[in-house]
Structure 1
């Protein structure tokens, strides 16, 4: 949430971002912001999101993104 807030919402001064904020409907995640978010996930969290997982359902809300990252993290740990 902090990355999205600081990067795309100018720090979210009104505190509008929640785990269920509709990121796509509110145009928080457009093509450029999505690319920046994917880069953040890869560089900072060490999570590579497969192309097949880049879809509206997985990036609809912060909660959906968190669930996706948790699942990918669990998959990488199981594969070790």
Structure 2
């Protein structure tokens, strides 16, 4: 699985679903939790997207702040779990 491709698709999903298409200031190191982009409600949508798009189920013990901190961290999680 290509990390750059996963990151681009996750970024596009987050921008369209949670940021109303506004990309200003959102990059791979944006703090998703700290900025409130990902919270308990949006996390469900992110996990469903990951499951549906990549066939990856994220175990509960992997739902840590470190794994969800940035787009880079989420991408790394998806790539790691897919291998």
- Indicate the structure with greater helix content: 2
Q: Hey, what does 2:14 align to over in structure 1?
A: 4
Aligned length: 73
What RMSD in Å do the two structures reach over aligned CA positions?
Answer: 0.9
Alignment of 1:15-30 (within 5 A): 15-30=24-39
Query: TM-score, normalised to structure 2's length?
Result: 0.84
Query: TM-score, normalised to structure 1's length?
Result: 0.87
Higher relative contact order (CA 8 A, sep 6+): 2
Give the superposition deviation at 1:9. 0.3
Return 5+ residue gaps in structure 2 as ranges. 1-10
Q: Hey, what does 1:50 align to over in structure 2?
A: 59
Return 5+ residue gaps in structure 1 as ranges. 75-80
Give the superposition deviation at 1:40. 0.6
